[in-house]
């Protein structure tokens, strides 16, 4: 079947699903494959459960005329998404980066949705499957689509950029994330910059942090760019009066008090402001958008629990975000501070060094009541309390009392699931 014909079916039934457990009536089911599953095996179940069509790539799972056989179900999903993106009149903003992608995407959406009909990537569905699903969520009346793109190796952003064909792009930063897959920090810069390569080749708009030396250098000769800065008057000036603990912002005569903790969230807010101003969102609406945004899903959440003030930042971690979080936590007022740090994943050969650096930084910042959790942190040279597993930490916390009215930071990679600490407190 031609993509044009499949798209006509999609316009009649504009909802797709790749997991029968989440299937809704009249969805189009795409039978994707993974290391431990074959979606073709669930095609019959999908149709029985209300799917209008099942897109399969193995003939032996053919059911009836509601089954469409293609050469590759994943490739078909991606081609359909690209076709629909070009069919739509929506302007597309793509963003990537080492840290802050999802928060920045949510902030951009919070601002732009005050004036436009928008859609944005749900959660962090930002890979070769999530990006097509986001593009296929563009509705007839969508004016702006905000698409988050993630990557852990070279050529991935290049592929997603070609799939998305964005009108505008933004890179949050270049940090020490996925070092194993990218091959070090230089590899991270090269991989993330694939978005710039695509946009420049198409002469599309680029939003930038003009205070980031890497972005400034890479875009020095590019004309179609729009930036923010705390000091350079050739770009949009945005100030941060303070961030203790919540980020406050000044742009012109407008003062914005966010519910985001940590100065590391300042550039994320700036990106949303910059795009709001580019798309002519009034300053008072930008203010409302940012001030109404409340972090969730373990991302810089501030939680009050049994007298403790807890910063829960356990969604993910890498050396760059960990360093920023520690520096911010050290500046927060309070005498009783407790720090729970979990292993940072995907660092490859640099794992030992980077975990040691973080332990030493915590020591230098005099964050003395620190617990290190995970196999990597267990091996560092430090006088801090160390726990090889979460269960070891759990046993310790059940036998020791945390000082009353403590301030806590909980941060680690997703696989550590350190939000479980809340259950013990």
Q: How far apart are CA 271 and CA 170, in angstroms?
A: 8
| Per-residue model confidence (pLDDT) at position 99 | 87
Place of tokens 């290049």: 158
**Domain 301-424 architecture:** Alpha-Beta Complex (3.90)
CATH of domain 3-73: 3.40.1390.10
The edge-to-edge listing of strands for the beta sheet with 246-251 is: 239-243, 246-251, 254-261
Which among 392, 357, 351, 387 is positioned nearest to 372, based on CA atoms?
Answer: 387
CATH of domain 88-292: 3.40.1190.10
Q: Give average pLDDT by consecutive 10-residue segment, the chain, 425 residues.
A: 96 96 96 93 96 97 96 98 98 94 96 98 91 97 97 91 98 82 84 96 97 96 97 96 90 94 92 98 97 85 85 88 90 86 92 95 94 96 95 89 85 93 85
301-360 pLDDT, tens digit each:
888 887 888 999 888 888 988 998 999 899 887 778 999 999 999 898 899 999 999 999
| Residues with Cβ within 8 Å of residue 201, at least 6 apart in sequence | none
Q: Give the start-to-end residue ranges of the domains of the chain.
A: 3-73, 88-292, 301-424
Contact (CB, 8 A) for 55 and 33: no
What is the DSSP annotation of 131-188? HHHHHTT--TT--EEEEE---SSTTHHHHHHHHH--SEEEE----S-SHHHHTSHHHH
Q: How far apart are CA 260 and CA 249, in angstroms?
A: 11
Q: Would you give the DSSP letter of residue 239?
A: E
Place of tokens 């964050």: 367
Q: Would you give the DSSP letter of residue 343?
A: P
Length of the chain: 425
| Per-residue model confidence (pLDDT) at position 155 | 92
Which among 154, 177, 140, 159 is positioned nearest to 316, based on CA atoms?
Answer: 177
Tell me the CB-side half-sphere exposure of residue 86, using CA atoms within 13 A.
11
| Per-residue model confidence (pLDDT) at position 270 | 98
| Per-residue model confidence (pLDDT) at position 184 | 81
| Per-residue model confidence (pLDDT) at position 379 | 96
| Per-residue model confidence (pLDDT) at position 21 | 93
Q: Show the CA angle centred on residue 374, arms to residues 369 and 377, nearest 5°.
A: 60
Helix (H) or strand (E) holding 38: strand 37-38
Which among 84, 94, 97, 92 is positioned nearest to 177, based on CA atoms?
Answer: 97
Rama region for 348: left / alpha / beta (φ>0; ψ in -120 to 50; rest)? left
């Amino acid at each position: 079947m031609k993509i044009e014909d499949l798209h006509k079916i999609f316009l009649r039934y504009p909802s797709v699903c790749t997991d029968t457990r989440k299937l809704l009536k009249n969805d189009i089911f795409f039978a994707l494959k993974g290391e431990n599953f074959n979606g073709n095996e669930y095609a019959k179940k999908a149709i029985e459960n209300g799917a209008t069509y099942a897109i399969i790539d193995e003939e032996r799972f053919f059911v009836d005329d509601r089954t469409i056989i293609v050469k590759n179900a994943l490739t078909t999903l991606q081609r359909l998404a690209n076709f629909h993106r070009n069919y739509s009149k929506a302007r597309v903003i793509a963003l990537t980066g080492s840290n802050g992608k999802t928060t920045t995407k949510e902030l951009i959406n919070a601002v732009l949705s005050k004036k436009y009909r928008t859609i944005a990537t749900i959660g962090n569905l930002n890979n070769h499957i999530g990006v097509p699903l986001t593009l296929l969520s563009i509705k007839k009346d969508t004016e702006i689509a905000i698409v988050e793109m993630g990557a852990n190796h070279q050529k991935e952003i290049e592929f997603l950029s070609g799939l998305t064909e964005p009108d505008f792009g933004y890179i949050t930063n270049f940090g020490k994330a996925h070092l194993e897959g990218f091959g070090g920090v230089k590899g991270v810069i090269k991989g993330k910059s694939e978005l710039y390569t695509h946009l420049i080749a198409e002469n599309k708009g680029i939003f930038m942090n003009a205070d980031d030396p890497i972005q400034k250098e890479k875009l020095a000769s590019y004309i179609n760019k729009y930036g923010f800065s705390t000091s350079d008057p050739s770009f949009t000036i945005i100030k941060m009066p303070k961030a203790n603990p919540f980020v406050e912002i000044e742009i012109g005569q407008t003062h914005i008090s966010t519910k985001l903790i940590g100065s590391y969230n300042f550039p994320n807010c700036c990106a949303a402001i910059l795009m709001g101003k580019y798309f002519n969102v009034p300053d008072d609406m930008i203010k409302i958008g940012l001030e109404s945004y409340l972090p969730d899903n373990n991302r810089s959440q501030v939680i009050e629990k049994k007298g403790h003030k807890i910063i829960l930042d356990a969604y993910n971690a890498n050396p760059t975000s960990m360093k920023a979080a520690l520096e911010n936590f050290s500046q927060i007022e309070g005498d009783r501070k407790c720090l729970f740090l979990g292993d940072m994943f995907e660092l490859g050969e640099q794992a030992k060094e980077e975990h040691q650096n973080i332990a030493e930084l915590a020591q230098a910042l005099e964050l003395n009541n620190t617990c290190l959790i995970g196999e990597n942190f267990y091996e560092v040279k430090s006088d801090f309390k160390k726990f090889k597993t979460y269960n070891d930490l759990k046993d310790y916390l059940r036998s020791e009392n945390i000082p009353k009215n403590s301030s806590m930071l909980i941060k680690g990679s997703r696989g550590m699931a350190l939000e479980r600490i809340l259950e013990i407190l």
